[in-house]
Structure 1
Amino acid sequence: MHARVRAGDPDAFRELFTSYAQLVYGYAARATGDPGLAEDVVSLTFLEAWRLRARLRDEGESPRPWLMGIAVNVLRNTARAKRRHERAMARLPAREPLPDFADELVGRLADAEQLAAVKTALGRLRDGEREVFMLCVWSGFGYEEAAAALGVRVGTVRSRLFRARARLRRLTDEELRREPPLPRGQVRDDCRMPAVRSHVERHP
């Protein structure tokens, strides 16, 4: 199939799309939390794959690393464009899309508050750590596949994944400890103080 793709065989490229479009979509959807944007990433990834089809090598049994390397670059560019758009629209009310399959993003986390904390924490990871985490944990890539997709060494993948897991746990805990901001004009009514005082009074 690799040779047929390189030769521009439409049927071979259709087979490539059918086999791996869902993989690219899942990666992009988890990264962005936006199903519509994930569909755009899929389209751009395969358009770029068609343009770069001559670079598809025969090494290995799967074109996944080559294809996901393209997807990672597309997502980087898409994320930059999205950030520019968000900065331009910063004065408008923020919209946080939450996909129906959000529970899959963080394994068995079912609590929406925890999900939001993890999503925010992921955004605070370094790009390289986040990409390795997404490939290895969410997309099921091995170290060698992830290294090929990202153009780095296997040892780099291992170290980034280790750091990503550790930082993700710490950053998620930090997010969960933060109190959500109140709507403008409202003042927080801390109802915890009477309970604390009564507890102290009962236990001098």
Structure 2
Amino acid sequence: MSGGSESTDEALWLLVVNGDGDAFGRLFDRHRDRVLRHALSILGSAHQAEDITAIVFYEAWRRREYVRMVNGSIVAWLLVTANNTIRNHNRQRRRYEAFLDQLPPPAVGADVADEFADSAGRDAEATALRAAFWRLKPRDRDVLTLCVVEGLSIRQAASALAIAEGTVKSRLHRAKTRLGALYRGLDPDRPLTDQTLHQGRIL
């Protein structure tokens, strides 16, 4: 297959829907790094981000007949799926941690807290932003991901999320306000700016 219109996401996806693994591989190569960066900025763990990225593309192949294109691109679908996958991952982790809390405590050993003191504080701001982000509702996380991080227009985000443009606008405003309130613990009517989101590496 040559370049041009035959190599667009939309054209390749028509082949993927019919089971073309080579076309899917081309799309994987094209968008894998973008999904990985998104997952890494949220999770802060390269290993976990790799796992999430693999799951996202597995879901893309498994649900290939239901993938929604936005302006001929699959990126918005991939990123929203990444958010959903991370949410499920965090839910499973919390269940696991709750299980561990029920186990008897280990024998007392050497205090290793000092060993990690410096690294614990190094990324405190980014950690706080990520924690605030994941306290938001899924729909708020998705609209921030698409409109703030990826820079999609209101119309494009509305298409990706299958909602009205007016709903995107109001949801985006509320999501920024809620995130700002959660992050700073200040006046809930004071929004967090897009620049702060990027500088804080929340997304």
The change in CA–CA distance for 1:90 and 1:51 in structure 2 (over 3 A counts) is same
Q: 2:96 aligns with which of 62, 67, 85?
A: 85
Contact 2:155-2:165 within 8 A present in 1 as well: yes
Matched, 1:14 2:25: yes
Cα offset, 1:43, TM superposition: 0.7
Letter in 1 for 2:51: D
What is residue 131 of structure 2 aligned with on the other side?
A: 120
Cα offset, 1:3, TM superposition: 1.6
What is residue 168 of structure 1 aligned with on the other side?
A: 179
**Distance in 1 between residues matched to 2:42 and 2:123, nearest whole Å:** 17
Cα offset, 1:58, TM superposition: 7.0
Letter in 2 for 1:137: V
What aligned pairs does 1:44-55 form with structure 2 within 5 A after superposition?
44-55=55-66
Quote the RMSD (CA, aligned, Å). 2.9
Contact 2:71-2:156 within 8 A present in 1 as well: no
Q: 1:60 aligns with which of 62, 68, 71?
A: 71
Structure 2: unaligned runs, 5 residues or longer? 1-11, 107-118, 187-203
**Distance in 1 between residues matched to 2:69 and 2:140, nearest whole Å:** 28
Letter in 1 for 2:182: L
**Distance in 2 between residues matched to 1:171 and 1:70, nearest whole Å:** 24
What is residue 85 of structure 2 aligned with on the other side?
A: 74
The change in CA–CA distance for 1:145 and 1:88 in structure 2 (over 3 A counts) is farther
What is residue 191 of structure 1 aligned with on the other side?
A: none
**Distance in 2 between residues matched to 1:172 and 1:145, nearest whole Å:** 28
Normalised TM-score (structure 1): 0.65
Bigger Cα Rg: 1
Letter in 2 for 1:11: D
Matched, 1:40 2:47: no
Contact 2:70-2:160 within 8 A present in 1 as well: no
Q: What is the total number of aligned residue pairs between the two structures?
A: 159
Contact 1:23-1:139 within 8 A present in 2 as well: no
Cα offset, 1:77, TM superposition: 2.3
Matched, 1:24 2:7: no
2:185 match: secondary structure = helix
**Distance in 2 between residues matched to 1:57 and 1:171, nearest whole Å:** 31
Letter in 1 for 2:63: L
Letter in 2 for 1:79: N
Moved over 6 A (4+): none
